[in-house]
């Protein structure tokens, strides 16, 4: 199987070890024959033959390599399961906070502060260590999976989502996404929606209509993660804090922002970051109220967002949707329009398509409606597509960084007027 070359500090003795093992003395703590996920295996991927592995290189550029080494060393010392659970929760939350602090720092950074990729790859390095770890106590496959989920959710911002309690402040919960479509040299891709989430988390913004405070998380590009209820966990938990709005955010079309009118209860089958495909109606997540709406309409103030003149990109209101033509078998002939869904029709795609961006809007607002929180605004914002550095062998360049910054800053401006 692949080994993930590239955790910092690998010694010659430890070169065949998993990337989570930074020191040779940790060799007996990890079983490198344990299979990794497709995402984790990409930690080996390079842009050119013989070049550095992209993921670990980005982690090092952001200064997270020491955090990775520290985690993998301390994980080997965990001798009690409960303490291990507390450790991974604490470390996941610390990684998230470090990424947010770096993103929002006013101190000049050695590497672009708006880069969302180091958090993504550091998270995968640490989940790899957890997957291949040989603990001193008995740990079932189910318990290990829960431990990895606990770390992953904390490292995405789900454990750091408390709004301030003071009155008179608008509260908005938002989510971005991980990078995706990372095959081949596309492994260097970033996601401006994830970059925006890091810029927004915990941020207090003064607007002409008062202060807005935001809590953010970054969602996985994984059908399985959505099946586990990560969207409901973040937004459902936010509802207990009486928020004013939900805004799911993802990367969409070239050159423009779109406020999507419709979210659809349908998965179109496109492969996720683990190369898994899923097709059919959006499944329920256990433990949350989930009405069976085929379509959910945005309640975001789209015209206000358009008129705000946030620039530099155009902001549009996307009316499109598709349904399975009434009277024909589901999956046969789609009827795509810009008016209103047909009563009784089965949803085929929302304005944002039939992938996980559409599903994030659908799930967040399904749980909102399920709890009867109709006073909470909710909807989806698609960002412009972010390109890649001009040199196919480069991790970054000035144009790439400038475009990501412009998109993320406009997200910040658009969300603040919701």
pLDDT tens for residues 274-290?
999 999 999 999 999 99
| Residue 26 pLDDT level (bands cut at 50, 70, 90) | low
Stated pTM of the model: 0.94
pLDDT at 28: 87
**pLDDT tens, residue by residue, 248-261:** 999 999 999 999 99
What mean pLDDT is predicted for residues 234-245? 96
pLDDT at 167: 85
Distance CA(380)–CA(358), nearest Å, equals 8
Q: Given a cut of 90, is residue 237 above it in pLDDT?
A: yes
Higher pLDDT, 86 or 24: 86
pLDDT at 16: 33
| Residue 412 pLDDT level (bands cut at 50, 70, 90) | very high
268, 327 Cβ separation under 8 angstroms: no
Q: Which CATH number fits domain 170-416: 2.60.40.420, 1.10.10.10, 3.40.630.20, 3.50.50.60?
A: 3.40.630.20
User: And the tokens for 337?
Assistant: 């329009």
Q: Rounded to 5 degrees, what are φ and ψ at 406? A: -65, -40
Q: Given a cut of 90, is residue 17 above it in pLDDT?
A: no
Distance CA(122)–CA(95), nearest Å, equals 8
| Residue 21 pLDDT level (bands cut at 50, 70, 90) | very low
Distance CA(129)–CA(147), nearest Å, equals 12
**Partners of residue 246 on adjacent β-strands:** 173, 378
- Tell me the CA end-to-end span of the chain in Å, nearest whole number: 48
Chain-centroid distance, C-alpha 285: 18
| Residue 165 pLDDT level (bands cut at 50, 70, 90) | confident
pLDDT at 13: 23
CA-CA-CA-CA torsion for 129, 156, 360, 124, nearest 10 degrees?
Answer: -20
Looking at every residue in the chain, the average pLDDT score rounds to: 93
pLDDT at 2: 43
Query: What are the structural domain ranges in the chain?
Result: 24-154, 170-416
pLDDT at 27: 65
What mean pLDDT is predicted for residues 381-395? 97
pLDDT at 1: 42
């Amino acid at each position: 199987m692949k080994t993930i070359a590239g955790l910092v500090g690998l010694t010659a003795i430890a070169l065949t070890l998993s990337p989570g093992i930074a020191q040779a003395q940790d060799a007996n703590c990890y079983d490198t024959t344990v299979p990794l996920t497709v995402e984790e295996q990409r930690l080996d991927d390079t842009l050119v033959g013989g070049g550095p592995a992209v993921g670990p290189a980005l982690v090092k550029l952001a200064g997270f390599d020491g955090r990775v080494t520290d985690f993998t060393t301390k994980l080997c010392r965990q001798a009690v399961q409960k303490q291990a659970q507390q450790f991974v929760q604490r470390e996941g939350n610390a990684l998230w906070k470090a990424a947010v602090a770096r993103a929002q720092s006013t101190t000049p950074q050695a590497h672009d502060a708006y880069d969302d990729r180091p958090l993504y790859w550091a998270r995968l390095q640490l989940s790899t260590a957890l997957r291949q770890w040989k603990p001193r106590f008995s740990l079932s496959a189910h318990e290990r999976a829960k431990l990895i989920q606990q770390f992953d959710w904390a490292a995405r911002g789900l454990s750091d989502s408390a709004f301030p309690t003071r009155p008179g402040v608008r509260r908005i919960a938002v989510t971005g996404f991980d990078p995706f479509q990372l095959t081949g040299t596309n492994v260097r891709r970033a996601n401006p929606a994830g970059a925006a989430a890091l810029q927004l988390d915990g941020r207090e913004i003064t607007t002409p209509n008062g202060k807005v405070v935001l809590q953010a998380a970054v969602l996985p590009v994984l059908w399985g993660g959505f099946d586990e209820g990560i969207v409901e966990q973040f937004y459902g938990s936010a509802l207990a804090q009486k928020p004013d709005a939900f805004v799911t955010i993802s990367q969409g079309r070239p050159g423009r922002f779109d406020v999507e009118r419709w979210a659809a209860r349908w998965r179109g089958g496109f492969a996720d970051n683990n190369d898994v495909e899923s097709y059919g109606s959006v499944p329920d997540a256990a433990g949350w109220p989930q009405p069976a709406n085929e379509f959910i309409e945005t309640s975001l103030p789209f015209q206000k967002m358009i008129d705000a003149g946030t620039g530099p990109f155009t902001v549009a209101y996307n009316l499109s949707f598709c349904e399975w033509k009434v009277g024909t078998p589901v999956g046969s002939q789609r009827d795509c329009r810009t008016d209103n869904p047909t009563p009784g029709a089965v949803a085929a795609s929302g304005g944002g398509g039939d992938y996980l961006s559409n599903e994030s809007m659908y799930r967040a607002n399904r749980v909102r409606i399920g709890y009867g929180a109709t006073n909470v605004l909710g909807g989806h914002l698609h960002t412009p597509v972010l390109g890649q550095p001009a040199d196919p062998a480069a991790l970054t360049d000035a144009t790439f960084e400038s475009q990501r910054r412009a998109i993320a800053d406009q997200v910040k401006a658009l969300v603040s007027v919701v």
